[in-house]
Amino acid sequence: MGRESELARLIELLCRFTRKNPVLVGEPGVGKRTIVGGLARRIADGNVPPSLAEKSVLALDLPPLRVLDGSWRDRLDRALVAAAAEGKIFFLDRMHERPGAIPPAATLDATELLERAVVAGRLQVIATSSPRTFARFEAEEHWLAEYFEPIAVAPADEESAARVLEAIKESYETFHNVSYAGDAVAHAVFWAGKYLKKRSLPGSAVDVLDEAGAAAQLERSSLPREVVEVQQRIRMIAKRIEACVANHQFEKARFYSDEERKERDHLRGLREKYNLDRPGNPTAEVRREDIERAARKLVGNPDSAGSVS
């Protein structure tokens, strides 16, 4: 998968008795969520210590909630603790986010909702954060810094990024109904490094692979038009979510996340309708020139692709 050392440290912390809540600390695009996905696959494969063998990872996607009476919060506490007792490890992505559209004083965000149960040791949580924000938590002696153990996730080198892309390539082939040429991953990493210098590997290379798959599918595939239109909408919504997060418009980002889930459910239904998920049935191949063209497009320079020796 790549990121083996970070994944091993994540598993090690989850097996501890104290300070057993890891937080993956790194800049956007370094692959923090990929590491959590690797953990989920390890658990599914049974390739974890016995103390984690019966666990599962549950993404906790709670919007900022208006403060209600104490009995309501108690009920939520009990529900979370009950899920933890059934083996759920909660995954809280971007725990440093704060509510945007609603005044913070009038809301509880996800970290505040978790505080009592985490401090009492009744919940186990994996979180992600940015280096700057986690350093602020530590400087302020925030409870998050006391109960979460950081794992530094630096930008990947090209070799590690390529391993990450190889691990996830099949998922993108299935989504776009394409096949990637044998050198597609190497070229995605190369062109991401050349054109997307302000973004981190492996996330920038994943974007290139995704963009190239979508473009090749539209140019050369025979997919039903309604399938193509739904996939276009999903990609457009994903870009809007990214823009909202970058602008700290988290309420709007969560709205678009709900829309994305609906469109993905719609897409699954269409793929079943048209029997598109048969193995070995890609409708287009993603070639090296598609990869470079995608990288150029992501930086606003969609010129014709050149060649790579």
User: Using CA atoms, how far apart are residues 174 and 121, in angstroms rounded to an integer?
Assistant: 40
Strands (E), the chain: 21-25, 56-59, 65-66, 88-92, 107-108, 125-129, 148-152, 178-180, 284-286
pLDDT of residue 275: 75
* Model pTM score: 0.69
Top CATH class of 158-298 equals: mainly alpha
Q: At what angle do helices 158-176 and 184-195 cross, to 10 degrees?
A: 110
pLDDT of residue 281: 60
Q: Which two tokens stand for residue 183?
A: 């050198």
pLDDT of residue 97: 57
Q: Domain map of the chain by residue range? A: 4-152, 158-298
pLDDT of residue 246: 64
Q: Which two tokens stand for residue 160?
A: 């590690």
First to last CA, the chain: 27
Decide which of 1.10.540.10, 3.40.50.300, 3.10.20.880, 3.90.1300.10 is the CATH code for 4-152. Answer: 3.40.50.300
Cα 123 to its chain centre, rounded Å, is 22
Task: Sort 286 into a burial class: Cβ within 10 Å, 0-12 / 13-18 / 19+.
Answer: buried
User: Using CA atoms, how far apart are residues 233 and 137, in angstroms rounded to an integer?
Assistant: 37
pLDDT of residue 74: 76
Mean pLDDT of each 10-residue bin along the chain, 309 residues long: 86 93 92 89 91 90 57 75 90 68 52 85 92 90 90 91 90 87 93 88 92 83 80 86 70 82 91 72 82 91 49
Long-range Cβ contacts of 61-64 (<8 Å, 24+ apart): 61/93, 61/254, 61/257, 62/109, 62/110, 62/113, 63/251, 63/254, 64/98, 64/99, 64/102, 64/107, 64/108, 64/109, 64/250, 64/251
pLDDT of residue 109: 64
